[in-house]
C-alpha cells in the first residue's frame, strides 16, 4: 500500500474472496516472528553501576553505558564461549566478559583478547541502535533503525514526562493484539466507545499506520462514569502503530487528554508481552514537576494499565483466523496486509543463535 493512501479505497489489484470482494488477509506465516521496530529495554537508572541483560525477542541482549556516556545494546552471549555479558563489567569504553575478560566496545566489536596477538574475526557482538528517552532505553530490532523512535505527531517528546513502565501478558500472537488498532467492531463491543463518525485510517509515514476516530463513552463501569464526569462524554482517539508493534495512543476528551504507548513484544511461546508507558505534559514550574507530574502519571498509569489488562483478560485465546474475517472487518484485513508487508523485510532480523563453536 502506498503510505499516503487511505484504508477503504478500492484495491483492485488484490485477490478477491467471495461476493464482498474483500482483499485477502495474509497467512499467519507472512508475519515476522520478531518485527523490526523499537522496543523499550530497561530504565536508564539500572545502568548506573552495571550492565543489564534480559531475554527479549527470543534472544539474550545486554545494555550498558560507557564511561563517556555512550549507550549500547548488543547481543549478550559472548562470541567466545557464550558467557552472559550482563554478568560482566563496564571498564572505560568497553564491556568486559566475566569469563575470559574479552572486551567489547559500544559497537559490539571486540577490542581486546587477553594473551592473543590478534582479535579473531568472529569476535563481534550484534549491535542494535539504542536511544534514551523519558528515562528509558529503547532499541531497534535490526542493524539499522528503519525509522526514528516515534512520538506523537506535532508534539515534542521533550515536552513530556514518562511514567513508570507497566506490562501485562496477552495470550495471542503480537499481530493479533496489534490489529486491535483497526478492529472497528471492538471499540464498542469491548471498550464501550460508540463511534460518532467513520474512522479515518491512513498511513501518515512509511512504517506507520494510523486510525483516528471520534466516539462517545457509553459504558456503565465506574471508570467510564468517572471519565464522563471528569473528562467529558466524548473522545477523539488516535492510534498510530509504528513498525507493527509500537502503538502511540492519544485520547482527547472534552476536558482532558491522555497519551501513552504500548509496545507489543512477541514471546517465544507465541504470546505477547505488552509494555506500556503513560505520558504527561511536563509542568514548567518546579512545584508542578515535583508534585503534579508524578501524581498525574501515577493515576494515568493505574487507569491505563487496569483498562488494558482487563481487556487482555477478557479476550483470552483469541487467534488469527483469516478465513473468519468478513466485510465489517475490512480495515483489520488491510491492517494485517500492512503488517505482512512490513514483516517481509523483517525476516532477516531473526534472532542470532548462541555461539556453538
Ligand atoms: S566466554 Fe567471554 S571471554 Fe570467554
Ligand atoms: Fe482494544
Query: How far is ligand 1, taken at its centre, from the CA of residue 266, in Å?
Result: 29
pLDDT at residue 357 above 80? no
pLDDT, one tens digit per residue, over 260-313 is 999 999 999 999 999 999 999 999 898 888 898 999 999 999 989 988 988 888
Backbone angles phi, psi at 88, to 5 degrees: -90, -165
- Interatomic CA distance for residues 56 and 78, integer angstroms: 16
Is this prediction's pTM over 0.85? yes
Query: How far is ligand 1, taken at its centre, from the CA of residue 342, in Å?
Result: 36
- Interatomic CA distance for residues 259 and 238, integer angstroms: 10
Domain ranges for the chain: 47-140, 157-344
Query: How far is ligand 2, taken at its centre, from the CA of residue 120, in Å?
Result: 50
Mean pLDDT of 76-87: 98
Contact (Cβ atoms closer than 8 angstroms) between residue 78 and residue 94: no
- Interatomic CA distance for residues 282 and 296, integer angstroms: 10
Contact (Cβ atoms closer than 8 angstroms) between residue 160 and residue 281: yes
- Interatomic CA distance for residues 352 and 357, integer angstroms: 14
Query: How far is ligand 1, taken at its centre, from the CA of residue 104, in Å?
Result: 11
pLDDT, one tens digit per residue, over 107-165 is 999 999 999 999 999 999 999 999 999 999 999 999 999 999 999 999 999 999 999 99
Instruction: Kindly report the number of other CB atoms within 10 A of residue 121's CB atom.
Output: 8
Query: How far is ligand 1, taken at its centre, from the CA of residue 35, in Å?
Result: 30
3-class state of residue 246 by DSSP = strand
Instruction: For residue 87, give the DSSP letter.
Output: G
Ligand 1 binding residues, C-beta < 6 A: 78, 80-81, 83, 97, 99-100, 102
Residues with Cβ within 8 Å of 301's Cβ and at least 6 positions away in sequence, in order, are 163, 164, 166, 278
- Tell the residue nearest (CA) to atom 3 of ligand 1: 100
Instruction: Kindly report the number of other CB atoms within 10 A of residue 92's CB atom.
Output: 12
Residues with Cβ within 8 Å of 167's Cβ and at least 6 positions away in sequence, in order, are 273, 274, 275, 276
Please report, to the nearest 10 degrees, the dihedral formed by the alpha carbons of residues 315, 319, 322, 323 taken in order.
-90
Residue that the C-alpha cell 528503519 belongs to: 146
Identify the CATH class of 157-344: alpha beta
Residues in the 5 Å CB sphere of ion ligand 2: 180
Sorting pLDDT into bands at 50, 70 and 90, what band is 19?
A: low
pLDDT at residue 9 above 80? no
How large a percentage of the chain has pLDDT more than 90? Answer: 80
Atom of ligand 1 at shortest distance to CA of 102? 3
- Tell the residue nearest (CA) to atom 4 of ligand 1: 100
**Second-level CATH architecture of 47-140:** 3-layer Sandwich (2.102)
pLDDT at residue 87 above 90? yes
- Interatomic CA distance for residues 132 and 180, integer angstroms: 28
Which ligand is in closest contact with the Cα of 84?
1
Residue that the C-alpha cell 574475526 belongs to: 121
Atom of ligand 1 at shortest distance to CA of 81? 1
Amino acid at each position: 500500500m502506498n503510505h499516503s493512501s487511505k484504508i477503504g479505497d478500492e484495491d483492485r489489484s488484490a485477490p478477491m474472496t467471495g461476493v464482498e470482494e474483500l482483499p485477502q488477509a495474509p497467512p499467519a506465516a507472512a508475519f515476522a516472528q520478531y518485527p523490526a521496530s523499537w522496543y523499550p529495554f530497561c530504565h536508564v537508572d539500572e545502568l548506573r553501576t552495571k550492565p543489564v541483560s534480559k531475554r527479549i525477542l527470543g534472544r539474550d541482549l545486554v545494555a550498558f553505558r560507557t564511561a563517556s556516556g555512550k549507550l549500547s545494546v548488543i547481543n549478550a552471549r559472548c562470541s567466545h564461549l557464550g558467557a552472559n555479558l550482563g554478568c560482566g563489567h563496564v571498564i572505560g569504553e568497553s564491556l568486559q566478559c566475566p569469563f575470559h575478560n574479552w572486551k567489547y566496545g559500544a559497537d559490539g566489536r571486540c577490542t581486546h583478547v587477553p594473551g592473543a596477538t590478534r582479535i579473531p574475526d568472529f569476535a563481534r557482538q550484534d549491535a542494535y541502535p539504542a536511544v534514551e528517552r523519558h528515562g528509558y532505553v529503547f532499541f531497534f530490532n535490526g542493524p539499522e533503525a528503519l525509522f526514528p523512535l516515534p512520538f506523537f505527531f506535532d508534539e515534542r517528546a521533550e515536552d513530556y514526562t514518562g511514567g513508570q513502565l507497566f506490562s501485562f501478558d496477552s495470550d495471542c500472537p503480537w499481530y493479533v493484539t496489534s490489529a486491535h488498532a483497526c478492529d472497528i467492531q471492538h471499540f464498542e463491543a469491548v471498550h464501550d466507545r460508540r463511534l460518532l463518525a467513520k474512522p479515518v485510517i491512513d498511513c501518515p509515514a512509511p512504517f506507520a499506520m494510523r486510525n483516528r476516530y471520534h466516539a462517545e463513552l457509553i459504558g456503565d463501569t465506574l471508570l467510564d462514569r468517572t471519565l464522563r464526569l471528569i473528562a467529558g462524554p466524548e473522545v477523539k482517539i488516535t492510534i498510530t502503530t509504528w513498525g507493527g508493534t509500537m502503538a502511540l495512543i492519544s485520547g482527547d476528551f472534552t476536558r482532558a487528554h491522555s497519551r501513552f504507548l504500548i509496545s507489543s513484544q512477541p514471546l517465544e511461546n507465541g504470546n505477547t508481552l505488552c509494555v506500556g508507558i503513560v505520558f504527561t505534559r511536563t509542568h514548567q514550574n518546579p512545584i508542578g514537576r515535583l508534585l503534579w507530574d508524578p501524581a498525574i502519571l501515577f493515576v494515568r498509569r493505574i487507569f491505563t494499565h487496569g483498562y488494558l489488562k482487563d481487556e487482555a483478560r477478557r479476550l483470552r485465546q483469541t487467534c488469527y483466523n483469516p478465513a473468519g474475517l468478513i466485510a465489517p472487518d475490512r480495515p483489520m484485513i488491510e491492517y494485517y496486509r500492512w503488517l505482512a508487508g512490513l514483516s517481509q523485510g523483517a525476516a532477516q532480523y531473526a534472532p542470532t543463535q548462541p555461539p556453538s563453536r
